[in-house]
Amino acid sequence: MKKKTVERIYKVRERNKKKPLIVLISKIKDLEYFGIKINQKEKRILKEVWPGKVSVILQCKSKKFTYFHRGTKSIAFRLPKKKSLLDLLKKTGPMVAPSANTEGNPPAKNIKEAKEHFGDIIDFYQNSGTISGKPSKLIRLSGNKVETLR
């Protein structure tokens, strides 16, 4: 995930530049790419909630990823359950996961709505049918403390 790509996502989505994006991973070991080391208790918690619709905020103090954590020194990660998405992530590596909308507008539920939001600004669209449901649960994991944010 290049800085240039992340900045383009912020611009296209008209997203508040102070709000970090969620990163999808294919395995817990992917956290090492971001310099994140987890202890046994954190690993146990992650194995309880992943794979699934739970995004977990973890400390990321690396200056290398400031463009990602936007100065918060933390990044939200999610290890999805959907096999086709996991297969893609295994090929690409970690990937940001913004919803298909501009900030303040409801997320697109299908490719038609996504194209209405963004038109030709997007390089390509992936048709995954109609998406429904709530956003992922969001928790913060800090040391031995677990805090549910949504």
Residue 104: pLDDT band by 50, 70, 90 thresholds? confident
Whole-angstrom distance, CA of residue 15 vs CA of residue 26: 25
Model pLDDT for residues 34-86, shown as the tens digit of each residue: 999 999 999 999 999 999 999 999 999 888 888 888 888 899 999 999 999 99
Residue 23: pLDDT band by 50, 70, 90 thresholds? very high
Whole-angstrom distance, CA of residue 32 vs CA of residue 26: 12
CA dihedral 54, 58, 62, 65 (to 10 degrees): 20
Whole-angstrom distance, CA of residue 150 vs CA of residue 135: 9
**CATH classification code of 3-143:** 3.90.870.10
The whole-model pTM stands at 0.88
Query: What phi and psi values does residue 138 have, to the nearest 5 degrees?
Result: -125, 120
Average pLDDT, the chain: 90
CA torsion through residues 9, 35, 25, 57, sign = negative
